[in-house]
Amino acid sequence: MVTNLTAEAKAIWARASQAKDPKVKLSLLKEFYSKMPHHKGTEKLEVTIKRQMTSLREEIEGQKIKRRGQKIDPWTLTRGDFIQTALVATLDKSAKLFYDMTGLKVGLYDVYNRPVVGPFTEGGVIIQVYLAPIDRSSGVSLNSKSLKIIRQVDLLLVERGGLGSGIRELLSAENIEALVGRRSRVEIKRTSTGGIRIIGSSTKIDNSSIARFLTGYGLKSCIVRVESDTLLDDVESALFGRIQKPTIEINIDSKADMLKMVLNALGLIRVYTISKSKSSDDRPILLNRGSTVQELGGLIHKELQYGFKYAMLQRNGSSTRVGRNFVLKDEDMVELASSLT
């Protein structure tokens, strides 16, 4: 249910959302929290604002630490070329599930003292799996470390039925929504001009309703990306900074099926490139679903994007010559030809 706020509260939120200084933003959020209604229908928003205020306090404290030259937090993950996932389970089950996925044994000492990560490998795709045990018996220290990992990764992996063991409630209390069976990741990028531009469309709500909703919160110019199953709740979540994490219930018995579930949840496809010697790379390139041949070329080398001539596509055992705007599918094999090579 979308939260109904007064015009005064919306105006304060508009100022807070535009504030750059974390101290100013924190002050405005405190004012917004005091002005918003507080009842059962606003519980989700209350959690969101409290979490944002906590994050701002941490940011302000982090700036002080940085100025003092202290060490960087080891629980801050480094972004790389691999998909990053978090294995979310109760403490008593997490080590076994982690071993089943990665083949690595881990002790409780390691879990409490450093981020534990291992590779899940299938079909040439390498996925980083971070161990993130969370339950009410783990203690505040371990839960807070696991939650920090969860906020940073691309995807959550949970045991079938695992969200029902109190994990969903713990995540929700930290402003994290685990989305199972749907993506609905909405992106809102503020712009200085151009009005409200919506990219994509939803079967659940029309674009004019999205535009009216955002206008009510003082947004005049922004780019909004929506998915086919986006709800107005999802737009509100993006507006207020709630963290929506695609989540899958893992099937370790079949690594191939599990890989497909991961890729589907993230909206990714695998594309294999073929060299002039007609040999195919074993490791696929991961692309967003709906990507074109030209976008593939741009990831490999700019000469293949700007000097593109044609591509030879192999799909379902047949070979076809295609152009730059041809839309690729999962497990396509492509040989690119460029006038600059």
* Residue 117, helix vs strand vs coil: strand
Tens-place pLDDT, residues 102-118: 999 988 778 888 889 99
Is residue 136 predicted with pLDDT exceeding 90? no
Q: Where are the strands (E) in 3-124, listed by range?
A: 83-89, 117-122
What mean pLDDT comes out for the span 126-151?
A: 87
CA 147 to chain centre: 14
Would you say 25 and 55 are in contact if contact means Cβ atoms under 8 Å apart? no
What mean pLDDT comes out for the span 315-320?
A: 90
Is residue 251 predicted with pLDDT exceeding 80? no
Q: Which residue has the higher pLDDT, 186 or 67?
A: 186
Closest to 156 in 3D by CA, of 57, 223, 82, 84: 84
User: How many CB atoms are closer than 10 A to CB 240?
Assistant: 18
Closest to 233 in 3D by CA, of 103, 14, 44: 44
For all residues of the chain together, what is the average pLDDT? 85
The residues, ordered by sequence, that sit 6+ positions from 158 with a Cβ below 8 Å of its Cβ are: 88, 89, 167, 178, 247, 248, 249, 250
Cα angle 14, 15, 21; round to 5? 130
Measured in residues, the chain has a length of: 341
Tens-place pLDDT, residues 27-64: 998 998 888 888 877 888 888 888 888 888 878 877 77
pLDDT score at 241: 83
The residues, ordered by sequence, that sit 6+ positions from 139 with a Cβ below 8 Å of its Cβ are: none
Burial annotation 50-69 (CB, 10 A radius, 16+ → b, else e)? ebbbeebeeeeeeeeeeeee
Q: Are strands 125-133 and 318-322 parallel, antiparallel or unpaired?
A: unpaired
Q: Which of 71-85, 87-101, 147-161, 317-331 bottoms out in mean pLDDT, i.e. has the lowest? A: 71-85
Q: Which residue has the higher pLDDT, 169 or 108?
A: 169
Is residue 92 predicted with pLDDT exceeding 60? yes
User: What's the burial of 83, exposed, middle or buried (CB within 10 Å: 0-12/13-18/19+)?
Assistant: buried
CA 69 to chain centre: 31
Give the tokens for residue 271. 């594309």
Is residue 340 predicted with pLDDT exceeding 70? no
